[in-house]
């Protein structure tokens, strides 16, 4: 789900010229996907794509990329000249296009939340709505706190439109779910500063593949039942620091973490914040990537009781 934005990199993501799936960013062979917003195609002459090839980092013009046979460039980065883009566009048209795009995302996001609530048990629905409402509140606060002097005019427009849509999303939730989740709506009221939970950049949902949240929540429920996690889900109770890292590796092995983050410490830091537990120096990827004592097999053995959870 690409609706929630937390930082400048997230704001820039609407310019990515390839289709974003639940699992990875990719370019089709010899064909760039259409941009998500039609007027953004005007930025192509001012952008480069930087990607990892067999020979290392390469930089190509987007026009050249159309003839490239390179596939599945997960590490691709788009570098933009916002000043040139600003000069070439009609600002009002750009604002309308971004508004239309974000409105479509908002509709899809609301449908996703509605379906998630009705398809689970009461406890699952409560957990699902709690975490997504918190993520919505975190996203709003995070964008609100971005210094305007650190954002280009184009980024300011994108940020403002997202914030307005987050407020509208919250209004929809408050109207439709007040009877069942009034306490959650009060705790995470979008537009007001909230002291609940961790910071916006520590929200684990940012790193989980859309559609995999319920599986993750089921893991948490089983961990609570086995006293690895407390009943409220905010305190890791296994003594060894290595244990939380192994749980993170296990989540990776089950395809829960977005591939772009799986070899980074960001999701692990989010778990540390979520469970009020620190793994210390083991957090560094160099400490556990391709290390025998932190293998996928070791993680699967330690959390064998999660194997049959679907």
Same domain, 221 and 266: yes
**CA-CA-CA-CA torsion sign (16, 21, 23, 26):** negative
DSSP secondary structure letter of residue 17: S
Domain of 256 in residue numbering reads as 203-306
SS3 of residue 269 by DSSP? helix
Element (H, E) at 135: helix 122-145
**Which tens digits make up the pLDDT trace of 274-307?**
888 888 888 888 888 888 889 999 999 999 999 9
Tokens of 72: 């599945």
Q: Does any domain span residue 75?
A: yes
Report field, pTM of the whole predicted structure over 0.75:
no
Tokens of 179: 């009877």
Same domain, 249 and 295: yes
**Which tens digits make up the pLDDT trace of 71-127?**
434 455 566 678 877 887 888 888 888 888 888 888 888 988 998 898 878 888 898
Same domain, 216 and 175: no
Domain count, the chain: 3
Element (H, E) at 110: helix 91-118
Confidence of residue 166 (pLDDT cuts 50, 70, 90): very high
pLDDT at 35: 40
**Which tens digits make up the pLDDT trace of 126-135?**
989 998 998 8
Same domain, 131 and 212: no
Same domain, 106 and 190: yes
Taking alpha carbons only, the member of 209, 217, 205, 202 closest to residue 276 is 202
**Cα separation, 283 vs 266, whole angstroms:** 9
Q: Which residues pair with 54 in a beta bridge?
A: none
Which residues of 35-172 form beta strands (DSSP E)? 47-53, 56-61, 77-80
**Which tens digits make up the pLDDT trace of 4-39?**
998 888 888 777 654 443 223 333 333 334 443 443
Q: Which residues pair with 61 in a beta bridge?
A: 48
**Cα separation, 295 vs 300, whole angstroms:** 9
Domain boundary among 44, 71, 87: 87
């Amino acid at each position: 789900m690409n609706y929630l934005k937390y930082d400048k990199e997230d704001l820039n993501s609407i310019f990515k010229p390839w289709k974003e799936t639940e699992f990875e960013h990719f370019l089709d062979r010899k064909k760039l996907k259409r941009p998500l917003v039609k007027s953004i195609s005007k930025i192509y002459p001012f952008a480069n794509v930087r990607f990892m090839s067999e020979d290392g980092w390469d930089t190509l013009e987007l026009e050249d990329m159309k003839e490239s046979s390179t596939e599945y460039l997960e590490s691709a980065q788009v570098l933009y000249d916002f000043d040139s883009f600003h000069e070439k566009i009609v600002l009002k048209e750009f604002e309308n296009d971004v508004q239309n795009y974000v409105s479509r995302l908002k509709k899809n996001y609301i449908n996703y939340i509605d379906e998630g609530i009705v398809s689970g048990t009461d406890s699952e629905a409560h957990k699902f709505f709690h975490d997504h409402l918190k993520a919505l509140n975190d996203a709003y606060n995070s964008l609100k706190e971005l210094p305007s002097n650190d954002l280009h005019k184009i980024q300011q427009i994108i940020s403002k439109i997202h914030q307005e849509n987050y407020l509208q999303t919250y209004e929809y939730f408050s109207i439709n779910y007040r009877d069942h989740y009034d306490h959650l709506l009060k705790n995470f009221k979008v537009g007001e500063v909230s002291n609940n939970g961790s910071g916006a950049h520590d929200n684990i949902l940012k790193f989980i593949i859309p559609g995999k949240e319920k599986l993750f929540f089921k893991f948490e429920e089983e961990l609570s039942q086995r006293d690895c996690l407390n009943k409220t889900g905010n305190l890791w109770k296994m003594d060894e620091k290595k244990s939380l890292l192994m749980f993170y590796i296990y989540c990776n092995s089950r395809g829960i973490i977005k591939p772009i983050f799986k070899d980074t410490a960001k999701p692990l830091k989010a778990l540390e914040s979520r469970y009020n537990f620190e793994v210390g120096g083991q957090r560094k990827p160099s400490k556990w990537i391709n290390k025998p004592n932190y293998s996928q097999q070791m993680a699967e053995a330690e959390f064998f009781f999660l194997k049959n959870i679907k």
